[in-house]
Copies of this chain bind each other. A is one copy, B any other.
């Protein structure tokens, strides 16, 4: 149940096109749907601007299927991240129109396309190996109704590759910078643009990368202004925050 649905119900009530009792029935499940192991937050699109997103990791396939089916009854778009191959196969078997992106590890069921934003989010990666995180961000940002542009493999070891792309980056309303190892790309880009920079450290690297810790600390201590940071490998979170920014004042 999204904002426009709720607005429609309230207007229908106001206009006498719907009776109070009927409106009540349709609105009463607003708080959440309790399916035992999970309390689905139907309210979230009202508070956060988008329905709850299913986080697949640490859940069983059966739990994800249950949540998916309960949400589908609400006629909302459904995005699931960190899904296993088993989950993708399981849900596709009864919902063949769902889109599975195996690089991003996402499932997306689009009940109703959202209007696309006129402004865009640009996703920039330091290396080829950062692509799974970038794909998660891209799928998420698009599911949330954003125009998205992706620029891959412009890490600072060959900084001329970045400069060749700066004009495209500056065209966006917000930039997501995805980098592992030492994560220097976030600082370099933030020093060159006026738009908000959301940095995503990735677990790409070895040894003293400590699973993405080096990039995380580097991005948090960036000498450039305006860098904000999300969790390691959190392409979804970066895209969600970028979408909030990209939807301001539309």
A216: chain B residues within 8 A (beta carbon): 207-208, 220
Instruction: Pick from A4-12, A16-24, A107-115, A182-190 the stretch touching chain B.
Output: A182-190
Asked if B160 contacts A32 (CB within 8 A), the reply is: yes
Q: Assembly of this chain: how many copies?
A: 8
A208 surroundings in chain B (CB, below 8 A): 216-217, 220-221, 231-232
* Interface positions of A from 219 to 235, Cβ below 8 Å from B: 219-234
A97 within 8 A of B: no
Check: A127 CB closer than 8 A to any chain B CB: yes
Closest chain-B Cβ to A12's Cβ sits at a distance in Å of 24
Measured CA separation A234–B181 after assembly (Å)? 13
Q: Are A229 and B220 in contact (CB under 8 A)?
A: yes
Residues of the B chain whose Cβ atoms lie less than 8 Å from the Cβ of A41: 157-158, 161
Give the interface of A toward B (CB within 8 A): 31-32, 36-39, 41, 43-44, 47-50, 52-53, 55, 57-59, 63, 67, 119, 126-129, 131, 152-161, 164, 173-174, 180-184, 187-188, 190-198, 201, 203-234, 236-238, 240-241, 244-245, 248-249
